[in-house]
Each structure stands twice: as structure tokens, then as C-alpha cells.
């Protein structure tokens, strides 16, 4: 398998896991997927650090990932871009994540969600 395709599949699997309750409701699991200097600009307009996420936890979501793509930025850093669709409300968000490979695996460094127009 092509290295870029393998990285894309790995990052897609990690992004999907972050939408699943088994991951989202476990602060240890979520914490292990984020870098220490993680920053998120959420679709709500609020910003969050790793400490915010681990301390307050994450809510359950029912989102589907669409139009997923990965760009390799350097040998250890990639940019993932995709859309999510809320299966209940139909609302869509544009999302981007920067992932960095560190000892132990891929960790998310940055995430941004932006409401998408229909």
C-alpha cells in the first residue's frame, strides 16, 4: 500500500474513533490522542485546550464523515480536511485537523470546526 494512502487510512480511523462514544467518553483515551499543546477552535466559536477537553470531557455525537482527505505537510505532520454531517439535525461542519507523529503514534495537534452553508 502506498505510504500516503496508509497514512490517510490511519488518520481517518483516528478521526472516526474521536466521534465514537467509546473514545469520546473516556478522558484517558481522548487525552492519549492529543498533543500536550493541543488547541481546538470549535464550530461553537469556543476554543479548547487539551486540559479543557480532559477536564470537562466530550459529549456524545452522531456525526458522519464525508469528503475526507489528507495532505502531508512534513515527514511527521499531516493535515486532515473533511465534512461532518449531524445525522439528527442534518447540520454540516467543515473540519480540519493537524496530526503529528510522536513516539507512541499519531496525536492531534490542532482541530477546527466551522459551520458549513448548505
- The whole-number pLDDT of residue 88 equals 86
Does residue 65 lie in a domain region? yes
Report the CATH number that the domain containing residue 43 is assigned in CATH: 3.10.450.50
| Cα distance between residue 51 and residue 71, in whole Å | 27
Residue 45 has pLDDT above 80, yes or no: yes
Which pTM does this prediction carry? 0.93
Number of domains in the chain: 1
Does residue 118 lie in a domain region? no
The answer to whether the CB of 48 falls within 8 A of the CB of 40 is yes
If you average pLDDT over residues 85-114, what whole number do you get?
Answer: 95
Amino acid at each position: 500500500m502506498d505510504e500516503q494512502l496508509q497514512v490517510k487510512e490511519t488518520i481517518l480511523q483516528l478521526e472516526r474513533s474521536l466521534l465514537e462514544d467509546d473514545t469520546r467518553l473516556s478522558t484517558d483515551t481522548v487525552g492519549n490522542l492529543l498533543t500536550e499543546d493541543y488547541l481546538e477552535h470549535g464550530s461553537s466559536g469556543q476554543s479548547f485546550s487539551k486540559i479543557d477537553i480532559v477536564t470537562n470531557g466530550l459529549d456524545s455525537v452522531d456525526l458522519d464523515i464525508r469528503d475526507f482527505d489528507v495532505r502531508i505537510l512534513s515527514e511527521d505532520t499531516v493535515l486532515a480536511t473533511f465534512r461532518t454531517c449531524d445525522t439528527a439535525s442534518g447540520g454540516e461542519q467543515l473540519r480540519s485537523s493537524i496530526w503529528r507523529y510522536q513516539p507512541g503514534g499519531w496525536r492531534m495537534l490542532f482541530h477546527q470546526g466551522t459551520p458549513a452553508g448548505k
